[in-house]
């Protein structure tokens, strides 16, 4: 087993626990008490940690016991993901540039049709679609997907479709921008996929694949 200090060991257990906050405090208190009792019984810290098992194993026992009783753990953080998934497109739509403004920017920048269209698309709700879908997938992964393994396919397909579709359309947009702009295509492309969330969505896709492969 990896060498831990007691504090590191406890922290590692705590971060691997998948239980609500109150139960988490309860468990950590009891484990601290357990540690004291074992010290009283004459065990060294290294012996105690070896006997309790790896932090992951200790947390896994608790997780299994609570999942059996209360159903799979659903992270409260998932509501943050859902809020972001809903609010981002709304905010982008409210504050998004209207076509008139977009074309005036286009004129200032010396751009013609395609860029104006791109700028509009980028700031409307559809311009943040990959961000929104990524957050929606995180929301599903943090709760709903944990109830059955097959449910992982929904965020997987969502993220795959959106990131591939978005990457293709941003590549077209980058070509259009490079025709009138000063920078090479790939720079526009990278700027586009970073700002509209394609890279983020792709990241969530990889995370979903990781979840699917995890035993």
Partner 1 sequence: MEQQFARQLKKGALEMLVLALLDRRASHGYELLLRLKESSGGQLVLKEGTLYPILYRLEDDGCIVSAWQSPTGEPQTPKTARKVYQITGQGRAVLAEQVEVWRQFSGSVEQVLEGNA
* Contact string (CB under 8 A) for partner 1, positions 131-170, x = contact: ----------------------------------------
User: Which listed residue (6, 12, 16, 52) binds partner 1 by CB under 8 A?
Assistant: 52
Q: How far is the CB of 62 from partner 1 (least distance, A)?
A: 5
Measure the CA–CA gap between 105 and 127, rounded to whole angstroms: 17
> Would you count residue 36 as binding partner 1 (CB under 8 A)?
yes
Q: How far is residue 129's CA from residue 92's CA, in Å, rounded to a whole number?
A: 10
Residue 96, SS3 per DSSP: coil
Query: Is 26 one of the binding residues for partner 1 (CB under 8 A)?
Result: yes
Total chain residues near partner 1 (CB under 8 A): 25
Q: Which helix (H) or strand (E) holds 122?
A: helix 113-123
Q: How many CB atoms lie within 10 A of CB 206?
A: 11
At closest approach, how far in Å is the CB of 4 from partner 1?
16
CA distance readout (Å), 127 to 30, 43, 55, 97, 105: 50, 60, 43, 11, 17
Identify each DSSP E strand in the chain by its residue range: none
Task: Please report where in the chains the tokens 């932090």 appear, as a residue.
Answer: 55
Instruction: In whole angstroms, give the CA distance from residue 89 to residue 69.
Output: 38
Q: Which is nearer to partner 1, 39 or 151 (CB)?
A: 39
For position 34 contacting partner 1 by CB under 8 A, the verdict is yes
Closest approach of Cβ 58 to partner 1, in Å?
A: 6
Q: Does 1 bind partner 1 (CB under 8 A)?
A: no
Site for partner 1 in 60-119 (CB under 8 A): 60-62, 64-66, 69
Task: Select 38 or 151, whichever has its Cβ closest to partner 1.
Answer: 38
40 binds partner 1, rule: CB under 8 A? yes
Of residues 6, 12, 16, 23, which one binds partner 1 by CB under 8 A? 23
Distance CA 180, CA 170 (A): 16
Neighbours of 97 (CB within 10 A): 18
Residue 112 sits at φ, ψ, to 5 deg, of -105, -155
Site stretch for partner 1 (CB under 8 A), options 59-67, 116-124, 146-154, 186-194: 59-67
Contact 66, 19 (CB under 8 A): yes
Stretch that binds partner 1, among 29-37, 93-101, 148-156, 168-176 (CB under 8 A): 29-37
Sites of contact with partner 1 (CB under 8 A) = 23, 26-27, 29-34, 36-38, 40-41, 52-53, 58-62, 64-66, 69
């Amino acid at each position: 087993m990896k060498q831990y200090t007691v504090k590191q060991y406890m922290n590692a257990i705590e971060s691997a626990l998948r239980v609500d906050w109150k139960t988490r405090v309860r468990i950590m208190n009891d484990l601290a008490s357990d540690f004291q009792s074992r010290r009283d019984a004459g065990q060294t810290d290294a012996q105690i940690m070896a006997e309790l098992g790896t932090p992951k194993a200790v947390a896994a026992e608790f997780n299994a016991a609570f999942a059996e009783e209360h159903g799979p753990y659903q992270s409260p953080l998932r509501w943050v993901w859902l809020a972001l998934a809903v609010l981002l497109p709304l905010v982008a739509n409210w504050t998004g540039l209207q076509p008139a403004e977009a074309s005036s920017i286009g004129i200032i920048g010396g751009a013609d049709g395609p860029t104006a269209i791109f700028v509009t698309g980028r700031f409307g709700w559809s311009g943040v679609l990959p961000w929104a879908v990524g957050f929606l997938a995180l929301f599903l992964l943090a709760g709903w997907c944990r109830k059955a393994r097959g449910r992982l396919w929904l965020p997987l397909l969502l993220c795959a479709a959106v990131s591939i579709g978005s990457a293709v359309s941003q590549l077209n947009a980058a070509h259009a921008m490079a025709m009138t702009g000063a920078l090479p295509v790939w720079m526009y492309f990278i700027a586009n996929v970073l700002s509209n969330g394609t890279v983020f969505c792709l990241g969530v896709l990889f995370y979903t694949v990781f979840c699917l492969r995890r035993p």
